Structure 1
């Protein structure tokens, strides 16, 4: 009987994951991760982790499995929260959920599970694991969840072969309604519980409020750049090499206040991210304003009207060598090699046709069609059919 430690989060997905494993005959242990107890940054008076840990305990009781809570708040602060603040300070937009999986759930948490004698760690993610053999070697695959509406493979895009080898995703073959139906049938306390919104494991915290705890407000101006601004009037170039063209397509436009007009004020450029529409508090424009860029150095937010503004759209992005991660190490590209893939630059974005181009200092992803709000610090993930094979931090 193999032993599995399930990360019970107090939600319906991990509850059903634990039940399914027990049904299959595994010896199941429920473990709740407490990742946060700094009340100075939990905005509301609610204590979300207490409610969640209570629900997780009730589920464990119901399923008759051992249960305990582990406190990972120190590691979480160090590896996730501090990193987030540093990135926002630099004007980049990190993805805490992807990091939380790589650094906490499938690293620190996995180590604890293995110390408890576990053979596997299981989570309630909507994705699947595949196994294939190539040249006499076992290779683990990360596959999309059957429920395309809930597929969470993107959040696991930084996992390694080693981490995947010890992971199980029991609900990957099910849809969300099927998962809820199982929980209802078992009369689990989590059956009707809403999906958690907010930061991975911190719970009901609004990101801007959270950032304001550490990044002090600093008044600056909002500049609107017209779509016919001269900065966009670039003559169609002839490029000597494909790499030159990709450099050009993925370039960051250097805005200055002269490119547009001041239309409002804000409390800190580091609170805003590319593609953002809410929170600008500037009205009276025919089309809504979107953030097209931010400068944390000058503390200026650059905006443009409408979602087809040229400042939002780009065909290519670049990832530095040390930020490229291959889940399928056997498919790693060498310099000058290319690969046709489907890619996404954010969770729930429909997959986009693209080509990977490996160059000396990193890799370009060139999309077939223009992409909106490619954002530094976020993760791009690339797939072949329904298999996620690699990912990287957009530079």
Structure 2
């Protein structure tokens, strides 16, 4: 099939989901071709499996009898995603590169490449749905809520959604696996990828240390007692338990420790015992300027549900839109480990309204550190 005949270009990642997305469209009679995106330049570590994924994407395309194209977006990824990733960690925040990758790469440069090939639409293996309603395109959660990825897609706009198809949005993951098996696709039993490609299977702290050199400092309780040392505050995120290496501490019970705050300027990591430490709780947050999928918020003040991290249960909240586009959000019940740099994503039932990057919260330790810095 020539590129001119393909009305839809499928982003072929070499995984089972994109493989079945292509299978589903082909079997429905849609003229398709595939496109494999290289988003990370090989750093010689052998930890990023891009070449294996490329071979699998080629094998699937051959099995389906469709043409496959290749594009190298590693330069765009570095400038549009990775540099932001490093800047956020250096500032002591915890970014979500998957959100930026979708906005800057998969639904921008990939979409442009598909149009250059003469296609009208792109398709991916994301678990989400798009529906047209009253002249607008809605981003909906997937039928399989355990796999729903609308959280990572909340930065998309009307033009992108109008040109996008999500063939898996109405399917259940186990059925997707079975469809791949029944069709004899070589990715049928392939393990789902997790985490960030450019980190791969390697140690996160070792990888980040290549770009943000470690600077040791004190680990303290919220009361200021020094109980250990850390290898760099930006290696840790709120609510984290692993990697603290705190042994028995005199005067404290033998219970797990969790990160409850970071003072980047002072190079201090704050920890406390208990997964539900009061130092991890917040009732409200303020965001950076929000993105609205419909182009505008429902109103200046409204109630909805929200997620402050992927796969979180819906949390009721009230949203106030400020004149500068930022949001003030108050939750109906306390929230654990709401983390600056992560994404706040808003929903009305299954409809994703949009979202924003979390700037600050009213968690007790964060409030104290802000007051000290003022």
Distance apart, 1:2 and its partner CA:
6.4
2:82 alignment counterpart: 81
1:110 alignment counterpart: 111
Distance across 2 between alignment mates of 1:201 and 1:286: 37
1:214 alignment counterpart: 211
> More displaced, 196-205 or 91-100?
196-205
8 Å CA contact 1:48–1:202 kept in 2: the answer is no
8 Å CA contact 2:48–2:198 kept in 1: the answer is no
Q: 1:142 to 1:349 in 2, by over 3 A?
A: same
Count of matched residue positions in the alignment of Structure 1 and Structure 2 = 350
1:355 alignment counterpart: 318
SS at match of 1:394: strand
1:255 alignment counterpart: none
Q: Does 1:140 align with 2:137?
A: yes
Distance apart, 1:47 and its partner CA:
4.9
> More displaced, 203-212 or 349-358?
203-212
Distance across 2 between alignment mates of 1:8 and 1:60: 8
SS at match of 2:238: coil
> More displaced, 351-360 or 183-192?
351-360
SS at match of 1:39: coil
1:121 alignment counterpart: 122
8 Å CA contact 1:100–1:200 kept in 2: the answer is no
SS at match of 1:329: coil
- Counterparts of 1:369-380 in structure 2, within 5 Å, are 369-380=333-344
In the alignment, structure 2 segments of 5+ residues that lack a partner are 360-374
Q: 1:123 to 1:203 in 2, by over 3 A?
A: farther
Shift >4 Å, 4+ stretches? none
Distance across 1 between alignment mates of 2:199 and 2:163: 25
> More displaced, 99-108 or 24-33?
24-33
Distance across 1 between alignment mates of 2:72 and 2:332: 45
8 Å CA contact 1:317–1:394 kept in 2: the answer is yes
Distance apart, 1:260 and its partner CA:
2.2
1:381 alignment counterpart: 345
8 Å CA contact 2:10–2:35 kept in 1: the answer is yes
Distance apart, 1:222 and its partner CA:
0.7
Distance across 1 between alignment mates of 2:72 and 2:322: 43
Post-superposition Cα deviations, 1:8-59, rounded to whole Å, max 9, x if no partner, equal 001000000001111111111111111112415x4xx345000000001000
Q: Does 1:296 align with 2:264?
A: yes
Post-superposition Cα deviations, 1:132-164, rounded to whole Å, max 9, x if no partner, equal 11xxxx200000000011111101011111111
Q: 1:46 to 1:310 in 2, by over 3 A?
A: closer
SS at match of 1:54: helix
8 Å CA contact 1:7–1:32 kept in 2: the answer is yes
1:23 alignment counterpart: 27
Distance apart, 1:186 and its partner CA:
0.7
1:165 alignment counterpart: 162
8 Å CA contact 1:35–1:76 kept in 2: the answer is yes
8 Å CA contact 2:42–2:48 kept in 1: the answer is no
8 Å CA contact 1:127–1:151 kept in 2: the answer is yes
Distance across 1 between alignment mates of 2:203 and 2:97: 13
8 Å CA contact 1:220–1:299 kept in 2: the answer is yes
Distance apart, 1:129 and its partner CA:
0.6
Q: 1:145 to 1:200 in 2, by over 3 A?
A: farther
SS at match of 2:35: strand
Distance across 1 between alignment mates of 2:48 and 2:284: 43
Distance apart, 1:68 and its partner CA:
2.0
- Counterparts of 1:158-197 in structure 2, within 5 Å, are 158-197=155-194
- Counterparts of 1:1-395 in structure 2, within 5 Å, are 3-39=7-43, 42=45, 45-133=46-134, 138-200=135-197, 203-225=200-222, 259-284=223-248, 285-320=253-288, 323-333=289-299, 337-361=300-324, 362-395=326-359
Post-superposition Cα deviations, 1:328-368, rounded to whole Å, max 9, x if no partner, equal 225443xxx31110100010001111111223342211111
The CA RMSD over aligned residues, in Å, is 1.5
Post-superposition Cα deviations, 1:68-107, rounded to whole Å, max 9, x if no partner, equal 2211100011111111001100011110001100110000
Distance apart, 1:278 and its partner CA:
0.7
Distance across 2 between alignment mates of 1:379 and 1:75: 22
